[in-house]
Amino acid sequence: MSLKLSNARLPAPRTPIAWLQLRREKTRLAVGLCGISFAVVLMFMQLGFRSALFESAVGMHSSLEGEIVLISPRSVALIAMERFSERTLYQALRFQGVRSVSPIYVETALWKNPDLYGATRNIRVYGVRPSERVFSLPGVSEHIALVKQPDVVLFDRASRQEFGPVARLFEQKGAVVTEVDQRRVTVAGLFQLGVTFGSDGTIITSDINFLRIFKNRRQSGLIDIGLIQLKPGADAARVLEDLKANLPPDVKVLSKRQYMDFEINYWNSSTPIGFTFMLGTVMGFIVGSIVVYQVLYTDVTDHLAEYATLKAMGYRDSYFLGVVFQAALILAALGFVPGLGIAWGLYQVTRSATLLPLFMEANRSLLVLGLTFLACFISGAIAVRKLREADPADIF
| pLDDT at residue 84, rounded to an integer | 94
In b/e form, how buried is each residue of 34-57, taking b as 16+ CB within 10 angstroms? ebbbbbbbbbbbbbbbbbbbbbbb
Dist. CA 138–CA 55, nearest whole Å: 17
What Rg, from alpha-carbon coordinates, does the chain have? Answer: 30
Dihedral sign (CA 269, 274, 280, 284): negative
The pTM of the full predicted model, rounded to 2 decimals, is 0.78
172 CB-near residues (< 8 Å, 6+ apart): none
Q: What pLDDT score does 395 carry? A: 56
Cβ burial 254-288 (10 Å sphere, 16+ → b, else e): bbbeebbbbbbebbbeeeeebeebeebbeebbebb
**pLDDT (tens digit, 9 = 90+) per residue, 292-309?**
888 888 877 877 777 777
pLDDT range class, residue 203, cuts 50, 70, 90: very high
